[in-house]
Amino acid sequence: MAQNPVLRGFNPDPSFCRVGEDYYIATSTFEWYPGVAIYHSRDLVNWRLVARPLRRAAQLDMRGNPDSCGIWAPCLSHADGRFWLVYTDVKRLSGAFKDAHNYIATCETIDGDWSDPVYVNSSGFDPSLFHDADGRKWFLNLRWNHREAGSGVNPAHDRFDGIELQEWHPETGLTGPVTTIYPGTDLGLTEAPHLFRRGGWYYLTTAEGGTGYDHAVTMARSRDIRGPYETHPQKHLMTARFAPDSPLQRVGHGQYVEGHDGRHWHSFLCGRPVQGPRGLFCATGRETGLAEVEWRDDGWLYLKSGGLVPPLDLPLDAVQALPGAVEYRFDGPDLPADFQWLRTPDPQRIFGLTGSALRLFGRESPGSWFEQALVARRQDESRCRAECTVLADPLGWQQAAGLISYYNRHKFHAALVTLDPALGRCLRIVSCPGDVTEALVLSPPVALPDGPVDLAAEIAGPVLRFFWRTGGGGWLPLGAALDASVISDEGGLGEHASFTGAFLGMFAHDLTGQGWSADFPRFAYAPLVHPLSENIPG
């Protein structure tokens, strides 16, 4: 039987949409470029990436965006013969303020050239667009409240200041009064509104409890789109907050879809925790699951399996093709779709394809928020291996290139080819192990002979080990075991300030500013059963 999550590895905040027998899920990408990931399926089990629609500066420029800002919670819909994408570009995370700008882009085909965005508002985040049966369109978002305690509509969390609604027109923009339609429940942190209509009712789904282990999908309904809305009899449609033994945790933030065959489904965000040195952590970030739901006689939606916890198994007959080993050779004209980079809409400044390799032009440090030569793919299992081949001849110790396990500027481990004044060309591990002061940990350098270098990273839950070889010889361990649990939402500042996921990829920097380059002819990734690192002491 197929199992959740259906989208493994960092794929949070799933907006769910159906057009005929075609199903689409759009997920958040935060500071990773291009913006928004859209997947397609016809069996609800196997999903294929078909679009990253925000690909040019007029649509999205995140240079300077802090970690875990950028694209939050897109909403994908289809009406009037075209797809509609609503998204937020968040410019600030910490502190009382959120500078969150909301836009709408459209396209007639899911994989076409999406329009330049239309600006809507900046009153909060997690926007969505509801197309009513009479042709009117309604814009919803959480309103953010930066003021002092006690000033909000929900005392459970003042800054999440209710779901607001306003009519919107493609030609004239927002129109008419702004109405706060739902303050949320006592769980608080009410966000991610999605509206749909059925049987004379407007149904509202929201996420509550924050995106950590108290996360939940909450439902409400009203006869009038502007409210008042009554909350679901059991408050939540789904949550795992009362089920610590469930393999799926952090359940919340999803959207309802009626299937083409009359069955009913709801997407949800989830995590698969594993044990680490400081407790549970989700090595693969926030992922996307699906649950079958049903309408009952009281006119409310419930999990078809009963209870509040979505099942691990999916009641579908399709054979699930799980992610497997893959090798990338970079011998084509385009970067493989699995890879992304950080923030910039000007990728030719940081990488190019030579016909035989991916060439990275060293730019700023791994702590930069502006221009990093870092090209990486998601880690989609807690036990995996990544390899790359590096052709690099650094001119000085300010230049380096190699393999990186990356979450953000203060959570990464990298094995880098660099230059040591005494040893010459060498290998060195550079880590920032979750310390918000960005304190670096540098391993002793290991001398390297001339020529290509193969680097590998093996991750077995909370343990990461680097390896290296030259000339096709045997793999040698590089440095000691590292704490992989910091490369997670729970590491560093924790789950309520870290919203992306673990990436494995290739990195280069040139701190002289001269754009020194390194070539990567190959990169490989595979899930693991028995990592080599388990047999190495220390």
CA atoms within 13 Å, Cβ hemisphere of 458? 20
- Please classify residue 55 by burial: count the beta carbons closer than 10 Å to its beta carbon, then call 0-12 exposed, 13-18 middle and 19+ buried: middle
Residue 168 and residue 136 in contact, taking contact as beta carbons nearer than 8 Å: no
**CB 313: neighbour CB atoms within 10 A?**
11
CA angle 160, 199, 188 (to 5 degrees): 15
Phi-psi region of 73 (alpha: psi -120 to 50; beta: other; left: phi over 0): left
Q: Which contacts of 429-435 are long-range, i.e. CB under 8 A and separated by 24 or more positions?
A: 429/466, 429/478, 429/479, 429/482, 430/366, 430/400, 431/482, 432/366, 432/367, 433/482, 433/483, 433/486, 434/410, 434/483, 434/486, 434/491, 434/492, 435/410, 435/492
Place of tokens 């959570």: 411
Q: Is 535 helix (H, G, I), strand (E, B) or coil?
A: helix
Residue 223 to residue 398: CA distance in whole angstroms: 64
Distance CA(518)–CA(530), nearest Å, equals 32
- Residues contacting residue 369 through CB under 8 Å, at least 6 positions apart: 63, 64, 65, 66, 67, 343, 409
Q: Which residue has the tokens 């680490």?
A: 276
Q: Are 126 and 191 in contact (CB under 8 A)?
A: yes
For the record, the structure tokens of 308 come out as 């509040």
Contacts of 305 (CB under 8 A, 6+ apart): 291, 292, 311
By C-alpha distance, which of 381, 389, 286 is closest to 324?
381
Pick the catalytic residue: 31, 191, 287, 371?
Answer: 371
Structure tokens at 212: 């950590």
Give the separation between CA 374 and CA 406, rounded to whole angstroms: 9
Residue among 311, 293, 291 at smallest CA distance from 302: 293
Q: Which helix (H) or strand (E) holds 428?
A: strand 424-433
Q: What string of DSSP letters covers 51-88?
A: E--B-STTT---TTPPTT-EEEEEEEEEETTEEEEEEE
3-class SS shares of the chain: helix, strand, coil, % to 5: 0, 50, 50
Alpha helices in 279-365 (DSSP H): none
Active site residue 458: no
**Which residues are identified as catalytic?**
371
